[in-house]
Structure 1
Amino acid sequence: MSAEITTPGPGANVKVLRLRRGWLQDQLAARAGMSKSMLGKIERGDRPLTQSMGAALANAFGITLDELLGQAPVRTGDEDRLKELRSVMRRFDLPTGEPVRGDRIERGLAELFRLRGDADLSAVTRALPGLLRRVQDRAHGTGLPEDWAKVADVYSAVYWLAARHRWMTLAELAVTRQGQAAERANALTRAVAARDEAGTFLNGGDFAGGLALVDQAVVLAESTMRGRPRHLALGLLHLRGMTLAGRLRDDRTAERHIMAARKAAEAVGTDVNVQGVHFGPENTVTHVVATRVDLKRNAEALEDAERYLRNGYSLPATRIGPLHMNIARAKLALKDRDGAVDSLMAAWSVVPQMAKVHPTSQELSRVLVSLHRRSNPRINTLAKRAGIRL
């Protein structure tokens, strides 16, 4: 008998939203273009809600994907920090004090990038308001492109934090400010800003719109950039492009972006931190794995992922945690439930804070708890971590 899920995950939200509208399952299934049987499995927790199916259901409800998935709650003690962060963001064009020394800014950015790499969401939240104020004050004081690039870097971290929690109002303001700072910086910073802006389309379920934005940015980078910055810009954009194409289940477009990303990664040589975002051969592999799973090419995804992990890796936790989540997705699709539990537990070990709020982790937890027997001690541990009452 399935466990009773008392904490709704993304898939459980579907039933909540359907009942609020007074719709029967067959009505929603018809609107979303899926079978009633599939919808029933999603609502019961017998089948995980994928981002592609979530986008179709969100469209049927007349809402965005992030609204369907639901926002993660603000952690206790973070309300004031987020309020302060929004205040600093609103005062983007209003410097508040004397420019801070450059070495202090560099140390602050290095620490922010480290915390982001560790997926320490709480520490990133604490660091952002003060650092953002300092980098904005310095950029206004010097007017230098390299200082405005640092402003854009911090806004990229704001977007990352907001997107992890599906706080999309904050995320969209962040990418707007990031774009404004990038226009005063350089071409590579503008490419990173375009990548993050396309991320808001991804979060909202407008995968086609996000792809169009990526294509525009790719054309601009190809026509205006040269050398290593060009390879980095194109690589980051093509990573976003393959993700969007995978969500659309567009194999041909996904393969085009995969090939282009691999070409750029080969030119770069080894993975590097580009303004807080990693690009190179390793991060390309993690994105390819996720895209293969979205395209239901699960065996290929597992082969790539297991080879990558077996050969050793250098990427930070913020990339390895989601990789384990995608491995769990592939294993569950191939009916290896125990293996899926192992991989999801690995994700929880690597990025516990991210796993708590990530929709993929939430949904996999809901389904795996529902499908397994209550006596399974690993499932009991997973349920406790995910906040699911058995």
Structure 2
Amino acid sequence: MTMGTITDPAPGANVALLRKARGLSQSALARRAHVSLSLLSKIEVGDRPLTPAVATAIGAALGLSMDQVQGRVSVAADVEQQLLDLRAAIRDYDLPMHQDAPADRVTAGLETADQYRDQVDVAALLALLPALLRDATTHAHTTNSVAAWTALADVYSTVYWLAARHRWMDMAELAVTRQKWAVDQKPNAVGEAFAARDRAGTYLNFGAVARGLDVVDRAIVTVQSAPLSTTDRDLAVGILNLRGMTLAGRLTDKTTGAREAERHIKSAWRTAAAFDREVSAHGLTFGPRNVFTHVLATRVDLGRPQDALTLTDDLNAALSGLPPTRIAPTRINYARAQLDTGDRDGALENLAAAFEIAPQMARIHPMGRELLRVLMSIHRRSNPALLRLSKLSGITL
């Protein structure tokens, strides 16, 4: 079973479809979006990738959100029922089941969900989540403990992750609302920080990055004044810093973006230094290696691909020990930096590596699809690696 369909257009191609559906010429859309006609034309035909910043600008011009411009990922008919079941479980957030849901079953379910998430097995994760969410809901209402409500919040965080990857933003927004609601039943500062991190993610996905930064900064202030152990505080602040630098890298004003990003980067490195290895909590990973992946992505988003590439001279070593859910997008970001600096072969090699380690993620990742489309435009049919990636992605040459 696989997620998505081969008919989904890549984001740049989707821009052309949206423009034509509204009867706009390329020059008219370029004027409205305040981008050059040359850039828009190259994006539509696949000679340049659609970046998040340009997607946001085009969305504003068309009255659409960034996720609508990039294109929401559809699901195959055989998993549509699972998606409906998940939506029903979210809807029943305050309606526990009549039968018991023991703690060990919820714990085991969360551990399995974390494994699927780390391995980027989105199909298996969707199949698991409806029943897990109902179990966690029942257990939280029955037990009414901090641990039980935190477990429920963690399930909603995973629902958000799944929805955001597919750009199902209505579900993503509802999931973070339910996540915050669950945490508020028995408040704890770390749970609140992770909920704020996910809420800020919805602003990132919609392109409203300045508001997302407000959420992050407010949450950091709250965490720093909370009665937490040093380890818990460092973990919570560090996780928020990762989101903060990502948001800052997407700001339209790159001077402001660089300044804000550097503030979060410095704090993230400082807090990560307290951990001698990557630690996992609430479905997320934090430590020096994960900070590296976020700094690299932020440098690329800030339009500094060379700075991103010089962060390491051994990408394999830098990513060693991280789960596929972090390795694959980092390979994609590295490929984007390589393409921006003219290293087409290196970009293809890293994009292929992303598809190898996490094919389900790479197949729906907007930048992964865009890079593949650009490389196809450059190489045409002469490259066997591109032919294989074309079949995996559903994007035809």
**TM-score bin (small chain):** over 0.9
Q: Does 1:262 align with 2:264?
A: no
Q: Distance in 2 between matches of 1:265 and 1:50?
A: 29
Match of 1:47 in 2: 48
Match of 2:232 in 1: 229
- Unaligned ranges ≥5, structure 2: 1-5
Does the residue aligned with 1:78 lie in a helix, a strand or coil? Answer: helix
Moved over 6 A (4+): none
Q: Which amino acid is the alignment partner of residue 302 of structure 1?
A: L
Q: Is the 8 A contact 1:98 1:138 kept in 2?
A: no
Which of 286, 292, 297 pairs up with 2:293?
286
State the shift of 1:6 in Å: 8.8
Q: Which amino acid is the alignment partner of residue 245 of structure 2?
A: M
Which of 344, 355, 365 pairs up with 1:358?
365
Match of 1:194 in 2: 196
Which of 202, 205, 215 pairs up with 1:203?
205
Residue-by-residue CA offset, 1:66-106 (whole Å, 9 max, x unaligned): 01011111133211111111111111111112432222222
Residue-by-residue CA offset, 1:193-233 (whole Å, 9 max, x unaligned): 11001111111111111111111111111122432111111
Q: Is the 8 A contact 2:312 2:318 kept in 1?
A: no
> Greater relative contact order: 1 or 2 (C-alpha under 8 angstroms, separation 6 or more)?
1
Match of 1:130 in 2: 131
Q: Which amino acid is the alignment partner of residue 224 of structure 1?
A: A
Q: Which amino acid is the alignment partner of residue 190 of structure 1?
A: E
State the shift of 1:59 in Å: 0.8
State the shift of 1:311 in Å: 5.1
Q: Is the 8 A contact 1:95 1:137 kept in 2?
A: yes
Q: Which amino acid is the alignment partner of residue 209 of structure 2?
A: F
Does the residue aligned with 2:53 lie in a helix, a strand or coil? Answer: helix
Q: Is the 8 A contact 2:268 2:291 kept in 1?
A: yes
Match of 1:79 in 2: 80
Q: Distance in 2 between matches of 1:43 and 1:59?
A: 17
Residue-by-residue CA offset, 1:232-260 (whole Å, 9 max, x unaligned): 11111110010010011310001111111
Q: Distance in 1 between matches of 2:362 and 2:84?
A: 24
Q: Distance in 1 between matches of 2:56 and 2:152?
A: 32
State the shift of 1:47 in Å: 0.7
Match of 1:142 in 2: 143
Q: Does 1:376 align with 2:383?
A: yes
Which of 213, 216, 241 pairs up with 1:238?
241
Q: Distance in 2 between matches of 1:120 and 1:21?
A: 36
State the shift of 1:49 in Å: 0.7
Q: Is the 8 A contact 1:289 1:305 kept in 2?
A: no
Q: Distance in 2 between matches of 1:45 and 1:7?
A: 15
Match of 1:30 in 2: 31
Q: Is the 8 A contact 2:10 2:395 kept in 1?
A: no
Q: Which range is displaced more, 214-223 or 347-356?
A: 214-223
Q: Distance in 1 between matches of 2:340 and 2:153?
A: 39
Q: Distance in 2 between matches of 1:7 and 1:111?
A: 29
Does the residue aligned with 1:269 lie in a helix, a strand or coil? Answer: coil
Does the residue aligned with 2:269 lie in a helix, a strand or coil? Answer: helix
Q: Is the 8 A contact 1:285 1:308 kept in 2?
A: no
State the shift of 1:388 in Å: 2.2
Q: Which amino acid is the alignment partner of residue 268 of structure 1?
A: F
Shift in alpha-carbon separation, 1:148–1:329, aligned structure 2, 3 A = same
Q: Is the 8 A contact 2:319 2:327 kept in 1?
A: no
Q: Distance in 1 between matches of 2:319 and 2:376?
A: 31
Shift in alpha-carbon separation, 1:225–1:38, aligned structure 2, 3 A = farther
- Unaligned ranges ≥5, structure 1: none
Q: Does 1:12 align with 2:13?
A: yes
Q: Which amino acid is the alignment partner of residue 103 of structure 1?
A: D
Shift in alpha-carbon separation, 1:225–1:11, aligned structure 2, 3 A = farther
Identity of aligned residues (%): 49
Does the residue aligned with 2:27 lie in a helix, a strand or coil? Answer: helix
Q: Is the 8 A contact 1:47 1:367 kept in 2?
A: yes
Q: Distance in 1 between matches of 2:339 and 2:205?
A: 23
Residue-by-residue CA offset, 1:342-384 (whole Å, 9 max, x unaligned): 1100000010011111111111111111111312211211222
Which of 308, 327, 332 pairs up with 1:325?
332
Match of 2:258 in 1: 251
Q: Is the 8 A contact 1:98 1:141 kept in 2?
A: no
Q: Is the 8 A contact 2:56 2:207 kept in 1?
A: yes
Q: Is the 8 A contact 1:138 1:147 kept in 2?
A: yes
Q: Does 1:216 align with 2:223?
A: no
Q: Distance in 2 between matches of 1:200 and 1:160?
A: 10
State the shift of 1:26 in Å: 2.0
